[in-house]
Structure 1
């Protein structure tokens, strides 16, 4: 820090760092000069204290995810065929329930682009979240009211009115609009609460740089944790409620409705603490205009710009100022000169998304087909006989596994790899996630074949209208558990890895845009699942799981060969950035071995990754 004279900066001069001062009153805080956002120093970097305002949003997200996963977790049983020893339902076959589940997921993950446009161009993040939350709540109210039974049959199962199924379908659309409008906005608003000042602190006699980007990563760990804790508790409680009163699902829907009211109340409580970023025009619409302009201009005058072969999204070069252009051409550009380059970075970051749709087809099985698979198995708590767990409670294993595994990887596995100089980049992590997803589907296929082979329901029917003595095949539901653990592991690598890659590689003013695009593979996977839903029936379920696993396996190979160079490019860019901070030295793409200066920079860059 000798080259940059530091002055003590009183906390009063940094109101946005008040939370830091309250929690760490003994820390010595100094402002650090920056240039274009890059700190010219070699001090190690750490995450700062997360402001209280952000935790209002984190708690809000916990309640919202409780409602979403708690309510949607019982959809499969609510729609699918009635079983004598399970809750009553609307009497539709498994294929219908799976198709509707896939439609709901598709709709919920296709509408975030709508929320991003509304927030960026019209209402801002706070009002967008609030208004779409009201729509969300209306959907849950409709679902709760239409699921109130009109009576019970001879064996005590709930009977529903003719409005139950239409009410369910309409509520899926309304809830889908509500959750979609929130999804692409809530995480960027949460990150907005993190102060963007770069400063140093002294802890135990050693100086550190508090890096806003690392603070955002630390905040997102809490954010993702809250999602999974909310999902875990919501799924458990709601699946227990669905068995009450002969399968009165309205109780399982009323609790999420109440939790969503609490979610809105908590969100409003933090209003005065929030950093409110006003709408500045839709980046999505601006990006579309920029891309369209570049394509039209390249077609009209392809010789105006010389673009090296192999340049990603080279048509964006025609969206920049070109020498000799007419005033009419320059007047059509409403974006800055840097915007086309920023858009190229964003599109490159998002280029990994299309293949991610195949991974999400594997993941989506835990919310529909694997729930029905558990319904064909012996769900007794002791694995033999006696009291049984609800079949849709088994899906709670995914958030439980994530809540347990994420801290292990964050605090143990990744730092271990870093200390031992084992490079484990984003593309390697995502590829491994693909393979684990394929392995989970292979295991599900084997489990399904065991169900078919164990009997006594060799005709694939779980319903005996005469005795109702044997509702399940003679295989314990505990056999299914490894599939959920494998899916959870795959999510740590593929899901978190892809979101982290796209977010960290997108320009700061396009985070909302990327957040919306990152959700589209889920929508595409649900559309694929919708077309595959006719195969979600006996006796073709074994091949349905096996086919999904095979597709994921070959997709992992294709993904690796298409994007494996991205990890190498990241290492070179990171090393160059640190070398430049230290006063020169760079690594040319393909140089081997690295020069000493660049090698030292690489080692320092690797050491910074997991400092907390």
Structure 2
């Protein structure tokens, strides 16, 4: 279901696009609408059942003017309803902990809805006419109903709002093109604002149930009024069942409250200096390691900031609660004209329904269009002002009632009551309250969800409800004022309180709006991650001799390698692929039956009650890792990685196959059609089934690469197991440092994890580039029908690339007959290879192929704590390989190159030939898949133009570009503008060669007149730089080196592929630094125009290949 701006194309936005394009609401998924309808249905029930309570409790059964039942009076009725609200706002804290750490939000909601049904059933039964003469039955029934409904409502309040937010997946800003052809930014913040505004709009439509409920109360009886919500609760169950699969159900997390508490304590001991809670501070100051990261500290800080904002809502809630009690009573003191007094409050819901779309469609866009940062804090401040106005108006209405006959300041206490005032004069109060609600409550829901740590969203939402509970507690404290004529002072006091709170609140929290405004126009922060480039296929221009069908197929079959934060670009496969459906080699259903039988016998260990514990590491820009906590691994022995020279069996005595160290006796999975491999069940399993496929030749070794027969056997088994509901993954741990624990060559098979991999790229058919914390090599298949031989061929190509990376990173060579240590995982849709440095971080933290993709099986919570303490990102970085990519590009031929003039800092353009060189350079980068994530260039036009043309040709025109004078060409002083040949004739070839090619000799300096003209011409003032009068190459190195260390190196270390488009001498300086060239070597280096030089750099930023790779074709 699309809400707004249907897009024709979609990709991640660049920083410039975020700043320049119009921001709009994104498409809203179906799951969001389902959650909104379910929430609205619950609100329908809540208002239908609670609205009649004030009359039910306050007025006697024989009341004529208004309905009644218990006759306990206004003050008691207000006190009891406030107590109910207090209960429903206090308990969300308990529900939040249950939801976040045990049940999850979806199950918590279902349980809460069931409790609401029970409460409605109790109040309905005890209000039936059969119990009309039993006061005690009605009081007890009301009490029990309020308790059960209070508990159920608390569960809904804790989880409904974050559950709605969960249905809209977190994404970076997206560029979409509307049907009108306009390119806009799909903004997450605006989308969440829209979703919560719609939620509030739906809620207010649902709250109109009070109209039907109050009329049923007046015309039929209270039992009929309570029958309505009882029926409504039944619709929730089928709704959730029908759309069960569509809903996003976040799994409960490990209890992070103790960890959050320790962070708060660490900060509190230093006067809430949050830097004191960071791991670095704790390590350097106290010498201790903590189990959290900087991001977690920042999230706790933001969460507490959100709680401070929520605390300011206490008087706001007290004012809002007047709708359900004192304003109902006030309406009963005026002429009703046949309308139930508790129906008038429906005007508030009607106001919200009418004003909500107006605010969303007109007010907010107009305010943003005028350049005002109308952020959450500003909206809440205006909510407080509107609330003050509403309470002031209520006080005015109450004063007016007291001035009218017949009862004056004692309404309803004389025979001719009520007083002579039309109830419709109360209407503006509800419209003012409606505006306050839209500005206040919807913003608070959006704010609390976005600011809360991911694992504490229900808890933070509960804190918001706790402020409501505090408001209800104040209502109970002030209930003695809920009688005539003291009620006038209550309204007046509330108005003064809110108008005083508004400016104080703004001054305390306005800095948050400034941050939100900056984040909306930038994506350098944590919430809107840096824009990731789209995966591009090969060049659209077909090279001579290239087949069109090859190009078409390979544009679908994309091979990608990646690493920390932002991946390096893919290495494309350009082979023609003819697809054929793999043939099953065994009976899949029979395999499952055999596995279940082995499990039942106890020979194979599998724990059906195992649970998944999700953990997100702060430095990891991927989805959460999943620890599978299973009892099946408790008895698994810790196996040392086998020596490659022996097959001792690690203590196993039974062997089916000579040369093998794996006991297969009793674990066989039936007859296999394969002549080269056979299947057994793994003894210690964390999936159903968990299989091992061994070579029939027991002397095949796990340090050998996979071959065609391995893939044929695995491919046929995949075809047997895959069905319409479940796909399988095959994985292989190669070599001692690849995480293998057995010597006999084998692969493992199991169903794809229901929770998905940590890398979303593997969970869907999306071609957007993944973000992974390590070097990897990847290819997606066009459909599910690639042949085994094609997969084997793809594997060998990717393995070759992985091997080069491994060799560059470790400085080692691969032994004959072996492969570099690596992990392999593949399905019928993709294959991924990850080169490895070592098997484990320590003795307690080893990881195999699935672990590298985010699925780690553990036997105890202590193992999870060990991983968390180590830090997933830091751990993975110690066991995998990483390289960094730098591209150097000298500008295309300039107009002065063509004329053979000394150019230097003169700002000249490029020729048509130079433009062709730049275009060719970009095409080469795209063809070889060296696609930059950002670029650096000089302040000179020829480099800037070359940079822009090359990026456009590579389809990377949108990436960030940084310009600096430090990358300018060498300043040739007085030689600038002179013809090189004429200069040589005048001063001699030897002298000109010294000026041009010496490392530390400067040409003659520029004259004063020329220098002043240059200053104006180059506009260096923009970077506060004083231009030199002349430079040697040594001087260029001196100004380039700080830029390399301070700007380029951090970009490389963050995982970005960096392009530097500059000049001959500034690039010479960079090559000298990277390759470690001597002074005499660098002066002999000649860098041609328009030729990209690609450097692969290791962890220490040493080149994998000295001099880089020059792209010429």
- Please state which band the TM-score falls in when normalised by the shorter chain: 0.7 to 0.9
- Are the aligned partners of 1:460 and 1:538 in contact in 2 as well (CA < 8 Å)? yes
Q: Distance in 1 between matches of 2:447 and 2:237?
A: 30
Q: Distance in 1 between matches of 2:14 and 2:402?
A: 65
Q: Distance in 2 between matches of 1:287 and 1:407?
A: 39
- Are the aligned partners of 1:439 and 1:486 in contact in 2 as well (CA < 8 Å)? yes
Residue of structure 2 in register with 1:353 after alignment: 310
Residue of structure 1 in register with 2:241 after alignment: 268
Residue of structure 1 in register with 2:345 after alignment: 395
- Are the aligned partners of 1:63 and 1:230 in contact in 2 as well (CA < 8 Å)? yes
SS at match of 1:394: coil
Q: How many residues align?
A: 529
Q: Distance in 2 between matches of 1:58 and 1:135?
A: 20
Q: 1:25 to 1:433 in 2, by over 3 A?
A: closer
Task: Provide Cα deviations, 1:365-421, integer angstroms capped at 9, x if missing partner.
Answer: 1111000011111101xxxxxxx1000001101110010011111111121222222
Q: 1:218 to 1:574 in 2, by over 3 A?
A: closer
SS at match of 1:201: strand
Q: 1:210 to 1:111 in 2, by over 3 A?
A: same
SS at match of 1:454: coil
- Are the aligned partners of 2:120 and 2:226 in contact in 1 as well (CA < 8 Å)? yes
Q: Does 1:113 align with 2:93?
A: yes
Q: Does 1:222 align with 2:198?
A: yes
Please list, as runs of the form range in 1=range in 2, the aligned pairs for 1:564-603 lying within 5 A after superposition: 564-572=510-518, 574=520, 577=523
- Give the RMSD, CA atoms, in angstroms: 3.1
Q: 1:412 to 1:60 in 2, by over 3 A?
A: same
Q: Distance in 2 between matches of 1:49 and 1:26?
A: 7
Residue of structure 2 in register with 1:372 after alignment: 329
Task: Provide Cα deviations, 1:271-327, integer angstroms capped at 9, x if missing partner.
Answer: 1222222111244454234324554xx3xxx6xxxxxxxx8x325723634234678
Q: Distance in 2 between matches of 1:578 and 1:334?
A: 26
Residue of structure 1 in register with 2:79 after alignment: 99
The one of 134, 142, 159 aligned to 1:185: 159
Q: Does 1:163 align with 2:137?
A: yes
Q: What TM-score results when the alignment is normalised by the length of structure 1?
A: 0.79
Deviation at 1:266, TM superposition (A): 1.2
Q: Distance in 1 between matches of 2:7 and 2:524?
A: 26
The one of 185, 188, 211 aligned to 1:236: 211
The one of 448, 453, 458 aligned to 1:512: 458
Deviation at 1:457, TM superposition (A): 1.7
Residue of structure 1 in register with 2:32 after alignment: 54
Residue of structure 1 in register with 2:554 after alignment: none
Unaligned runs of 5+ in 1: 1-18, 152-157, 303-310, 381-387, 586-594, 598-612
SS at match of 2:410: coil
Structure richer in helix, relative to its length: 1
Residue of structure 2 in register with 1:530 after alignment: 476
Q: 1:220 to 1:572 in 2, by over 3 A?
A: closer
Please list, as runs of the form range in 1=range in 2, the aligned pairs for 1:14-53 lying within 5 A after superposition: 27-32=7-12, 43-53=21-31
Residue of structure 1 in register with 2:366 after alignment: 416
Deviation at 1:159, TM superposition (A): 4.6
Q: 1:417 to 1:338 in 2, by over 3 A?
A: closer
- Are the aligned partners of 1:317 and 1:340 in contact in 2 as well (CA < 8 Å)? no
Q: 1:34 to 1:170 in 2, by over 3 A?
A: farther
Residue of structure 1 in register with 2:691 after alignment: none
Bigger drift between 402-411 and 430-439 goes to 430-439
Q: Distance in 2 between matches of 1:228 and 1:558?
A: 30
- Are the aligned partners of 2:13 and 2:185 in contact in 1 as well (CA < 8 Å)? no
Residue of structure 1 in register with 2:494 after alignment: 548
The one of 469, 474, 490 aligned to 2:436: 490
Task: Provide Cα deviations, 1:221-275, integer angstroms capped at 9, x if missing partner.
Answer: 322221110002x111101110134xx2111111111101212321222112222
- Are the aligned partners of 2:263 and 2:277 in contact in 1 as well (CA < 8 Å)? no
Bigger drift between 549-558 and 507-516 goes to 507-516
Task: Provide Cα deviations, 1:201-233, integer angstroms capped at 9, x if missing partner.
Answer: 33233333444444333332322221110002x
SS at match of 2:129: coil
Q: Does 1:175 align with 2:155?
A: no
Q: 1:89 to 1:532 in 2, by over 3 A?
A: same
Q: What TM-score results when the alignment is normalised by the length of structure 2?
A: 0.45
Deviation at 1:349, TM superposition (A): 2.8
Bigger drift between 493-502 and 137-146 goes to 493-502
Bigger drift between 217-226 and 393-402 goes to 217-226
Q: 1:502 to 1:186 in 2, by over 3 A?
A: closer
Unaligned runs of 5+ in 2: 532-959, 964-1020, 1024-1113
Residue of structure 2 in register with 1:202 after alignment: 177
Deviation at 1:75, TM superposition (A): 0.8
Task: Provide Cα deviations, 1:524-548, integer angstroms capped at 9, x if missing partner.
Answer: 1111111000110112111121112
Q: 1:73 to 1:505 in 2, by over 3 A?
A: same
The one of 454, 470, 475 aligned to 2:421: 475
Deviation at 1:499, TM superposition (A): 3.2
Deviation at 1:495, TM superposition (A): 2.5
Deviation at 1:510, TM superposition (A): 4.1
- Are the aligned partners of 1:137 and 1:257 in contact in 2 as well (CA < 8 Å)? yes
Q: 1:449 to 1:209 in 2, by over 3 A?
A: closer
Task: Provide Cα deviations, 1:425-448, integer angstroms capped at 9, x if missing partner.
Answer: 333322222122112111111211
Larger Rg: 2
SS at match of 1:475: coil
Bigger drift between 115-124 and 44-53 goes to 44-53
Q: 1:338 to 1:201 in 2, by over 3 A?
A: closer
Q: Does 1:323 align with 2:303?
A: no
Task: Provide Cα deviations, 1:78-123, integer angstroms capped at 9, x if missing partner.
Answer: 1002332221321101001101111111111122122221111111
